[in-house]
Amino acid sequence: MQASSTAAVSSVSQSAPARLWSVAEVLALYELPLMDLIWRAQGVHRENFDPNAIQRSTLLSVKTGGCSEDCSYCSQSARYDTDTERERLMPLDEVVAAAQAAKAKGASRLGAAWKGPKDNDLDRVLDMVREVKALGMQTCVTLGMLKEGQAEKLKDAGLDYYNHNLDTDKEFYGQVIKTHTQDDRLDTLEQVRDAGINVCSGGIIGMGESRKNRAGLLVQLANLPKAPESVPINNLVPIPGTPLADKDRLDPFEFVRTIAAARIMMPTSWVRLSAGRQEMSDELQALCFLAGANSMFYGDFLLTTGNPDIERDDALFARLGVKAI
C-alpha cells in the first residue's frame, strides 16, 4: 500500500479533506508567474486569517544530540561529526524556568532528538507538558515516532500540538533518511490525529529535491484525511559534518512559491516560516508573509542553530505594521 493511502484508509473516522490535490495541479501553481501566484495565495489568506497578524512560538531543545537516526540534514544525528554535543534530558525545573521566561514571547514548543521516546522518558515529558500548560501556555512537543498508547498519554497531559514532519516527498525520502521510512512517520501522524491532538507537520526544502518532489510533499500533507493544523516549511540550514553540508542554496523565490502553494492548498492551516529565517533578508521574509506564511519561531535559537535575534524581529514587525499573536 502506498504511503499516503495508509493513513487515509485506516483513518475512516476522520472527515475527508475538502478536495484532493494532484501533483500536476500543484506543479501548475508553481509555474504561475510569481505575482499571480502570490496574488492568489494572498486572496486565500485574507479569506481565512488576519493578513497583518503573525503567530509566534519559542523553541526549547529539551534533549539535544546523540540521536540514533541518520537524517542527512540534522546536526543531532550521532552518525555525523557535527559541533552538537549529546546532552541528557533537561530537568523539569529548567524547562519550567525557560517556559516562564518565554511566556511573553508566545507559545512554547519543546523538541527532543529522539527516534521516539522510551516510556520512562515520555513520563518526564508528560510532567513538562503539565507544568507548561499550568503556566497558561499552548503546548507543542516534537519527540519523534510514537508507540501505541503514547499519543493518548500526551493528550491526557493536556498537549495541544504534536510536531512530526513528513520532511520530504515519499519519492525522495530514501535519499536523505535510511534508518526509518516515511510510512513510519505517517503512522505517528495517524496516532496523533486519532488521539485528538492538533497535528503540526511540514517539511524541509533545499535538500536537492526537485520541484516535483516539493509539490509531492505538499500533496501528501494537504491530502491527509485532515490537513495538519500547522505546517512548518523549513529551508535547509546546511550543517558542517552532515551529508548535506555543501548543498547549494535554493532560489529564494522557489521558497516563496512553496509557501504560496501551501497556503492555497491548506487555506485554514497555520503556515510556519521555520528553519532558515536567519539567512533570509527582511524583504524575503515580507514576501513570505505576503504569500501566506503567518507563523514563525521567535527567539535567538531554534534547536541547535540560530534564528534572527528578537530585536531584529521586533523591528521587522514594526516596519511591516504586523502584530504578533
Site residues, ligand SF4 (CB under 6 A) = 67, 69, 71, 74, 76-77, 113, 115, 144
CB of 29 to ligand DTB, least distance (A): 22
Q: Quote the cell numbers at residue 70.
A: 541518520
The amino acid that residue 240 corresponds to is P
Q: Which of 45, 54, 38, 107 is nearest to 296 (CA)?
A: 54
Segment 291 to 320, residues that bind ligand SAM, using CB under 6 A = 303
CB of 251 to ligand SAM, least distance (A): 17
Q: Quote the cell numbers at residue 299.
A: 527567539
Select from 178-186, 215-223, 230-238, 277-285 the region that touches ligand DTB (CB under 6 A): 230-238
Pairing label, strands 53-63, 139-142 = unpaired
Q: Considering the rule CB under 6 A, would residue 113 count as an interface residue with ligand SAM?
A: yes
Phi and psi at 286, nearest 5°, equal -60, -40
Q: Considering the rule CB under 6 A, would residue 144 count as an interface residue with ligand SAM?
A: yes
Query: Binding ligand SAM by CB under 6 A: which of 131, 160, 167, 169?
Result: 167
Q: Considering the rule CB under 6 A, would residue 150 count as an interface residue with ligand DTB?
A: no
Binding mask 178-217 for ligand SAM (x = CB under 6 A): --------------------------x-------------
Query: Binding ligand DTB by CB under 6 A: which of 192, 275, 288, 293?
Result: 275
Cα–Cα distance between 281 and 11 in angstroms, integer? 41
Pairing label, strands 107-112, 198-200 = unpaired
Segment 246 to 285, residues that bind ligand SAM, using CB under 6 A = 275
Binding mask 286-305 for ligand DTB (x = CB under 6 A): ----------------xxxx
DSSP-derived letter for residue 163 is E
Q: Considering the rule CB under 6 A, would residue 111 count as an interface residue with ligand SAM?
A: yes
Cα–Cα distance between 146 and 187 in angstroms, integer? 8
| Cβ atoms 265, 26 nearer than 8 A | yes
| Cβ atoms 165, 145 nearer than 8 A | no
Q: Considering the rule CB under 6 A, would residue 111 count as an interface residue with ligand DTB?
A: yes
